[in-house]
Amino acid sequence: MKLSRVSPIVTLTTDFGLVDHYVGTLKGVLLSLCPDARLVDISHEIAPYSIYSGAYTIDQAAPYFPSGTVHLVVVDPGVGTSRKPVLMEALGQYFIAPDNGVLAMIGTRDGRPRLREIANRDLWLEAPSATFHGRDVFAPVAAAIASGQATPEEVGPALTRWELLPDLDPHPVGEGRWRGKLLSVDRFGNAITNFKASEFVAVASSNFALHMGNREITEFRATFGSGAPDLCFAYFGSSGYIEVGMNQRSAAAFLEVSPGDSIGLRW
């Protein structure tokens, strides 16, 4: 009995939004070159140009996908510049993206990712635009990998390093004081920090202060419902990081913060 081939999974993570044609165009390229692909939208509402938010989003989603999944990640404010287009093999999956830091968290999570520059122009669309590499470079390479028409070795030469993000990990700046980054803001206005809950578990039971924007957050709550409507508080999020939220209100708007902002923690 002949076993049927499992259709490949290709995910999309971009800052394109859904107002314009960009996402639909990416899907058109993917389906033209890999007709049996199963396309999964992770997010197209990454804050424009926010590499930190893009890196956080794909790092949160990818571990829940099966081996062999191809992830197309296009948050690319440097499109057309000298930044490299890359293919990363990590977590038993494939990640196709600009080498601008958007794969920094995935590479760190894996520990030993394999990286290649996307240099084989035979896999690109003809006459690629300088401003839409998602369509002309990344999508056709993702389709080639997903369909089996190309192997990673055929994509381009191996690279020994990938672009990291500044201050991706918190660092001490004095006794009981740490400097970190705001990784992302979700649709509800919850602000996700890069302080791992497992490493800063004492925040739940001791005096602390999170400095974000021009304010200090000094209260911890286990759930949103346990916070008063006007209280901005820290909590341990499903992300595994310390997050800051409010009960049915946007903490990010209240604090006037955005992904990539520097933040502080002391206790």
Cα separation, 151 vs 145, whole angstroms: 6
Rounded mean pLDDT of the chain?
95
Please name the helix (run of DSSP H) or strand (run of DSSP E) that holds residue 216, with its range, or none.
strand 215-217
Give the model confidence (pLDDT) of 144-183 as tens digits: 999 999 999 999 999 999 999 998 999 999 999 999 999 9
Q: Does domain 9-159 have CATH number 3.40.50.10790?
A: yes
Q: In whole angstroms, how far apart are CA 80 and each of 101, 115, 123, 130, 214?
A: 16, 20, 17, 5, 36
pLDDT at 20: 98
> CB neighbours of 87 closer than 8 A, spacing ≥ 6?
94, 95, 96, 115, 116, 118, 141, 145, 152, 155, 156
Give the model confidence (pLDDT) of 202-244 as tens digits: 999 889 999 999 899 999 999 999 999 899 999 999 999 999 9
CATH of 171-266, one of 3.40.30.10, 2.40.30.90, 2.60.40.740, 2.60.120.200: 2.40.30.90
| Domains of the chain by residue range | 9-159, 171-266
pTM score over 0.85: yes
Give the model confidence (pLDDT) of 37-77 as tens digits: 999 999 999 999 999 999 999 999 999 999 999 999 999 99
Give the model confidence (pLDDT) of 16-43 as tens digits: 999 999 999 999 999 999 999 999 999 9
If you average pLDDT over residues 248-252, what whole number do you get? 96
pLDDT at 6: 84
DSSP tag of 201: G
If you average pLDDT over residues 112-128, what whole number do you get? 97
Greatest distance between any 2 Cα atoms in the chain: 67
pLDDT at 5: 66
